[in-house]
Amino acid sequence: MEQEEQNFSRKELEFTVFCIENIAEKLRKSGNEVYKMLTEKSDILDSYIIPCYDVLHTQGKNYIVNDVLDYMKKIGVI
């Protein structure tokens, strides 16, 4: 059971990195800037990306990036 929890956490971490890198590329910002946008300027990482991992990770790259960007715009982060 512990191994499954570790793998799930690792998958969430890998997905988070994927999101940050691809959003950074789309916004032409550094990964560090995007990370701050998702954690310090908002709680998108903890309140949206991680909780919605099960649904989001089944989508394509463009859908995921655009979905998170839309959410960022909606709450005024960008």
pLDDT tens for residues 8-27? 689 999 999 999 999 999 99
Structural domain spans, the chain = 2-74
Which pair of structure tokens corresponds to residue 21?
A: 């890198």
How high is the mean pLDDT of the chain?
92
Percent of the chain beyond pLDDT 70? Answer: 90
- pLDDT at position 9: 82
Cα torsion at 46, 21, 64, 67 (round to 10°)? 70
How much is the pTM? 0.88
What type of residue is 40?
Answer: E
